[in-house]
Chains A and B, each alone.
Chain A
Amino acid sequence: MSDVVVSVRDLHKSYLLGRDNYVRALRGASLDVMKGEMAAIMGPSGSGKSTLMHVVGCLDSADAGEVWLDGRRVDGLRGRALTRVRSREIGFVFQGFNLIPTLTALENVALAAEYAGASRAEATKRAQAQLELVGLGDRMRHAPGELSGGQQQRVAIARALVNSPALVLGDEPTGDLDTATSEEVVRTLREVNAETRTTFVLVTHNPEVAQACDRVIRMRDGVVEDHGGSPAGVVSGEAAAGEGGADG
Chain B
Amino acid sequence: MRVLRNIFRRKLRAFLTIFGITIGVFALVVMGAMAEKLDLLVQGGVKYYSDKVQVNAATSVLGLASEPLTMDRLREIKAVPGARAAFPAIGMLYDEELPTMSMGNVATIQGEAHGARRYESFKIGIAEGRDLVASDRGVVVLGNDLAKKQQAKVGTVLEIRDRDFEVVGIWERTLTSPDNAAAVALADAQEMYKETLPDALQAGVTARNLATSFVVYPEAGTDPDNLAKAIRRRVGGIEAVGPKEFEEQVVSQLSVFTSIIFGIGAISLLVGGLSVVNTMTMSVAERTREIGIRKAIGASDGHIMRQFIAESAVIGLLGGIGGLALGYLVATGLNAAGEASGNVLFLVTPGLAVGSVAFALILGVVSGLYPAWYAARLNPVQALRYE
- The closest CB in chain A to the CB of B6 belongs to A102
Please measure, in the bound complex, the distance between the C-alpha atom of A213 and the C-alpha atom of B384, giving whole angstroms: 25
Question: Which of the 9-residue segments A1-9, A87-95, A215-223, A232-240 touches chain B?
Answer: A87-95
Please pick, from B5, B9, B296, the residue contacting A92 in the complex, using a CB distance under 8 A. Answer: B296
Please measure, in the bound complex, the distance between the C-alpha atom of A54 and the C-alpha atom of B380, giving whole angstroms: 9
Binary interface encoding of chain A residues 116-128 relative to chain B, with 1 for a CB under 8 A from any of its CBs, else 0: 1000000000000
Please pick, from A80, A86, A107, A163, the residue contacting B296 in the complex, using a CB distance under 8 A. Answer: A86
Tell me the minimal C-beta distance from A152 to chain B in angstroms: 13
Q: For A59, what are the chain B residues with a Cβ–Cβ distance below 8 Å?
A: 295-296, 380-381, 384
B298 touches A163 (CB 8 A): yes
Please measure, in the bound complex, the distance between the C-alpha atom of A111 and the C-alpha atom of B300, giving whole angstroms: 12
A115 touches B381 (CB 8 A): no
Q: A59-B295, A59-B381 are in contact. List 10 more A-B contacts (CB 8 A).
A: A83-B301, A86-B295, A86-B296, A91-B297, A92-B296, A98-B293, A100-B293, A100-B294, A101-B9, A160-B297
Question: Is B136 an interface residue when CB atoms closer than 8 A count as contact?
Answer: no
Identify which of B296, B380, B384 gathers the most chain A CB atoms within 10 Å of its CB: B296
Question: Is A157 an interface residue when CB atoms closer than 8 A count as contact?
Answer: no
Please measure, in the bound complex, the distance between the C-alpha atom of A111 and the C-alpha atom of B5, giving whole angstroms: 15
Please measure, in the bound complex, the distance between the C-alpha atom of A96 and the C-alpha atom of B330, giving whole angstroms: 51
Tell me the minimal C-beta distance from B229 to chain A in angstroms: 70
A94 touches B300 (CB 8 A): no
Q: For B300, what are the chain A residues with a Cβ–Cβ distance below 8 Å?
A: 80, 83, 87, 115
Question: Is B303 an interface residue when CB atoms closer than 8 A count as contact?
Answer: yes
Please pick, from A80, A101, A111, the residue contacting B297 in the complex, using a CB distance under 8 A. Answer: A111
A83 touches B298 (CB 8 A): yes
A88 touches B298 (CB 8 A): yes
Q: For A83, what are the chain B residues with a Cβ–Cβ distance below 8 Å?
A: 295, 298-301
Tell me the minimal C-beta distance from B188 to chain A in angstroms: 75
- With A54-B381, A60-B381 known as contacts, the answer to whether A159 contacts B5 (CB < 8 A) is no
Interface size class of chain B, counting residues whose CB lies under 8 Å from the partner chain:
10 to 19
Tell me the minimal C-beta distance from A80 to chain B in angstroms: 7
- The closest CB in chain B to the CB of A55 belongs to B381
Question: Is B290 an interface residue when CB atoms closer than 8 A count as contact?
Answer: yes
Please measure, in the bound complex, the distance between the C-alpha atom of A178 and the C-alpha atom of B384, giving whole angstroms: 22
B303 touches A107 (CB 8 A): no
- The closest CB in chain A to the CB of B384 belongs to A94
Question: Is B123 an interface residue when CB atoms closer than 8 A count as contact?
Answer: no
B2 touches A102 (CB 8 A): yes
Interface residues of B (CB under 8 A from A): 2, 5-6, 9, 290, 293-301, 303, 380-381, 384
Please measure, in the bound complex, the distance between the C-alpha atom of A91 and the C-alpha atom of B5, giving whole angstroms: 26
A-B contact count (CB 8 A): 57
Please measure, in the bound complex, the distance between the C-alpha atom of A23 and the C-alpha atom of B188, giving whole angstroms: 100
Please measure, in the bound complex, the distance between the C-alpha atom of A61 and the C-alpha atom of B6, giving whole angstroms: 31
A115 touches B296 (CB 8 A): no
Q: For B293, what are the chain A residues with a Cβ–Cβ distance below 8 Å?
A: 92, 94, 98, 100
- The closest CB in chain B to the CB of A100 belongs to B290
Please measure, in the bound complex, the distance between the C-alpha atom of A59 and the C-alpha atom of B2, giving whole angstroms: 26
Q: For A86, what are the chain B residues with a Cβ–Cβ distance below 8 Å?
A: 295-296, 298
Question: Is A67 an interface residue when CB atoms closer than 8 A count as contact?
Answer: no
B297 touches A92 (CB 8 A): yes
B381 touches A102 (CB 8 A): no
Please measure, in the bound complex, the distance between the C-alpha atom of A163 and the C-alpha atom of B298, giving whole angstroms: 10
Tell me the minimal C-beta distance from B4 to chain A in angstroms: 9
Please measure, in the bound complex, the distance between the C-alpha atom of A88 and the C-alpha atom of B293, giving whole angstroms: 15
Q: For A92, what are the chain B residues with a Cβ–Cβ distance below 8 Å?
A: 293, 296-297
Q: For B9, what are the chain A residues with a Cβ–Cβ distance below 8 Å?
A: 101-102
Identify which of B295, B298, B380, B381 gathers the most chain A CB atoms within 10 Å of its CB: B298
Please pick, from B2, B290, B297, B380, the residue contacting A112 in the complex, using a CB distance under 8 A. Answer: B297
Question: Is A57 an interface residue when CB atoms closer than 8 A count as contact?
Answer: yes
- The closest CB in chain B to the CB of A115 belongs to B298
Q: For B290, what are the chain A residues with a Cβ–Cβ distance below 8 Å?
A: 100-101
Please measure, in the bound complex, the distance between the C-alpha atom of A100 and the C-alpha atom of B287, giving whole angstroms: 10
- The closest CB in chain A to the CB of B297 belongs to A112
Binary interface encoding of chain A residues 158-193 relative to chain B, with 1 for a CB under 8 A from any of its CBs, else 0: 011001000000000000000000000000000000
Identify which of A80, A98, A102, A116 gathers the most chain B CB atoms within 10 Å of its CB: A102
Q: For A60, what are the chain B residues with a Cβ–Cβ distance below 8 Å?
A: 380-381
Question: Is A34 an interface residue when CB atoms closer than 8 A count as contact?
Answer: no
Q: For A91, what are the chain B residues with a Cβ–Cβ distance below 8 Å?
A: 297
Question: Is A212 an interface residue when CB atoms closer than 8 A count as contact?
Answer: no
24 A-B contacts (beta carbon < 8 Å): A57-B296, A59-B295, A59-B384, A83-B298, A83-B299, A83-B300, A86-B295, A87-B297, A87-B298, A92-B296, A94-B384, A98-B293, A100-B294, A101-B9, A102-B2, A102-B5, A102-B9, A103-B2, A111-B297, A112-B297, A115-B294, A115-B297, A115-B299, A115-B300
Identify which of B294, B303, B384 gathers the most chain A CB atoms within 10 Å of its CB: B384
**Which residues of chain A (40-91) have a CB below 8 Å from chain B?**
54, 57, 59-60, 80, 83, 86-88, 91
